[in-house]
Chains A and B, each alone.
Chain A
């Protein structure tokens, strides 16, 4: 079942929209209602740059049923140039090439199929630059 839950995340997942705090300039991704840095609550919408480096990673060998048949796949934590950190799959790469510190960029990809109808759900994945 495709749900409002999926629909309302589209700006973040498809377009990398984030919230930049008008008081302290900290960028929250996904956008928040309260700034985790200064506690203020006025934001402007910005789009993330999408380029960054890999802080850590793993290769998932055993996944939940939702990702059955997709293993093994790589995931990592990426720090983008604008300071935002996020968790993402790392696509199109030999696992041997994945190292902490490598440069990556986010691209638009299918992430999973939801429910019995197998509806495609999209978002970002990292690829090597």
Chain B
């Protein structure tokens, strides 16, 4: 296996893009990434999408997107791992370059969620249809059950969860591609509409359209295009039981623990070496649990960490400087790639008002379902 670098990024605005189709959105992001990298061709492409079939009635996404991007006849494959589809597409592209099979590969992600589908039902297909969803459980409901268990076990408070939303909105306000660019107050989060107790509307990531793409290439190729080499230092993926109820613990996401362990090992780092991270805050409680399960602190301190500012941009371990899924938006399949883009911007010093000081190593954690899939990528500025 050879070393792999990220040399170009591109994404669309995240939000309700009613005037744009899934093809328009993807092509915009991919075109920007190809232009940003400065490459004259790509050898193949992988596209993460959770449910284009349910959201817009279009499958065979790999081919249709290669077609509209003007890239036929290169190989083009859609990758699906629920909300971790983008992260999984990145890994597929990584392995194709690392193996030597290709030199330049595009990893993208796209979701078009506002074309009229029953979004709650479509998202719920990432859970066990017959033994969770049949009973009426929704995704906010699954994470709400994690939240109640976490509060019961560790004393996590409602205010601490709200602090995560406040922090992510504050970060997203400085991200030009974010869906919500307005800060929210603790009171606004605490008084927003209940969705699934104890989670309220402002604990939940929104319904979004959006696309994101990055270009991966071998180190030799990277050196021809740029002096700022962003190396893929570690990559790992893990699975867990599809149903939340089947797990030994309701407050630890084993897929996160396992993938993190493997990614740290491959990268030769420990959690202390990670300067900042983009994590999968589909709901505020997810950020708290993931922070713990990535090993940034002992179990139970995910809530206090946000409240005390340890995860703020100027904190010890900045989390979701992009605004996270909460504020930046969560076009499901695009999320894992958009996380990589935030890492790239931070590592190359292009994050503007969101810039983390001394950003050398960043981690992206992308998760599917209630944690049945987890992809972790660690990038380093060389």
Q: Which of B95-103, B130-138, B316-324, B337-345 contacts A (4 or more CB under 8 A)?
A: B130-138
Q: Are B245 and A86 in contact (CB under 8 A)?
A: yes
A30 to B250, alpha carbons, bound, how many Å?
Answer: 19
Asked if residues A9 and B137 are in contact (CB atoms below 8 Å), the reply is no
Q: Is the CB of A64 within 8 A of B121?
A: yes
Question: In angstroms, how far is the closest chain A Cβ from the Cβ of B130?
Answer: 6
A77 & B121 in contact (Cβ 8 Å cutoff): no
How far, in Å, is B123 (CB) from chain A's closest CB? Answer: 9
Q: Which of B71-79, B139-147, B182-190, B218-226 is the contact stretch?
A: B139-147
B136 lies within 8 A of A73 (CB): yes
12 A-B pairs with CB atoms under 8 Å apart are A56-B152, A58-B147, A58-B197, A58-B199, A61-B193, A65-B121, A70-B136, A77-B244, A87-B132, A100-B149, A111-B134, A112-B134
Residues from chain B with Cβ under 8 Å of A65 in the complex? 118, 120-121
Q: Indicate if B243 sits at the interface (CB-CB under 8 A).
A: yes
The digit string for A79-96, where 1 denotes a CB below 8 A from any CB of B, is 000000111110000010
Query: Interface size (A, Cβ < 8 Å)?
Result: 33
Is the beta-carbon distance between B120 and A123 smaller than 8 angstroms?
Answer: no
Q: Does A60 contact B (CB under 8 A)?
A: yes
Interface residues of B in 303-357 (CB under 8 A from A): none
Chain A residues in 8 Å Cβ range of B245: 55, 77, 85-87
Name B136's contact: one of A9, A67, A95, A100 (CB within 8 Å). A67
Residue tally, chain B, CB below 8 Å to A: 35
In the assembled complex, the CB of A83 is this many whole angstroms from the nearest CB of chain B, namely 11
Q: Contact at A64–B196, with CB atoms within 8 Å?
A: no
- Name B212-263 residues within 8 Å CB distance of A: 241, 243-246, 250
Cα of A70 to Cα of B146 in the assembled complex, Å: 23
User: B141 to chain A: which residues have CB within 8 Å?
Assistant: 58, 60, 75
Would you call B152 and A75 a contact (CB within 8 A)? Answer: no
- For chain B residues 154-191, which have a beta carbon within 8 Å of chain A? none
| Complex CA–CA separation, A111 to B121 (angstroms) | 16
Q: Is residue B148 within 8 Å, beta carbon to beta carbon, of the partner chain? A: yes
Beta-carbon contact of B131 and A30 below 8 Å: yes
Chain A nearest Cβ from B197, distance in angstroms: 4
Per a CB cutoff under 8 Å, which of A62, A85, A89 touches B138? A62
Write out the residue numbers on chain A whose beta carbons fall within 8 Å of the beta carbon of B135. 75, 87-89, 111, 123
Given A77-B244, A87-B244, A87-B245, are A58 and B196 also a contact pair (CB < 8 Å)?
Answer: yes
Assess A58 versus B134: contact at CB under 8 Å? Given A64-B118, A85-B246.
Answer: no
Chain B residues lying within 8 Å of A70, measured Cβ to Cβ, are 136
Q: How far is the CB of B200 from chain A (nearest CB, A)?
A: 9
B138 with A86: CB separation less than 8 A:
no
CA distance A109 to B337 in the complex (A): 44
- Whether B137 pairs with A75 at a CB distance below 8 angstroms is yes
The answer to whether B246 and A61 have CB atoms under 8 Å apart is no
* Cβ contact of A57, chosen from B132, B136, B148, cutoff 8 A: B148
Q: Would you call B194 an interface residue if the criterion is a C-beta within 8 Å of the partner chain's C-beta atoms?
A: yes
Residues of chain B contacted by A107 (CB below 8 angstroms): none
B residues 269-305 touching A (CB-CB < 8 Å)? none
Task: Assess the B196–A57 pair: CB atoms within 8 A.
Answer: no
- CB < 8 Å: which of A60, A63, A87 contacts B243? A87
* Contact across chains for A58 and B148 when beta carbons are under 8 A apart: yes
Write the chain A residue with the least CB distance to B137.
A75
Complex Cα distance A67/B131, Å? 16
Min C-beta distance of B165 to chain A, whole Å: 17
How far is B141's CA from A112's CA once the two chains are assembled, in angstroms?
Answer: 17
A6–chain B nearest beta-carbon distance, Å: 9
What separation, in Å, do the CA atoms of A108 and B240 have in the docked complex? 30
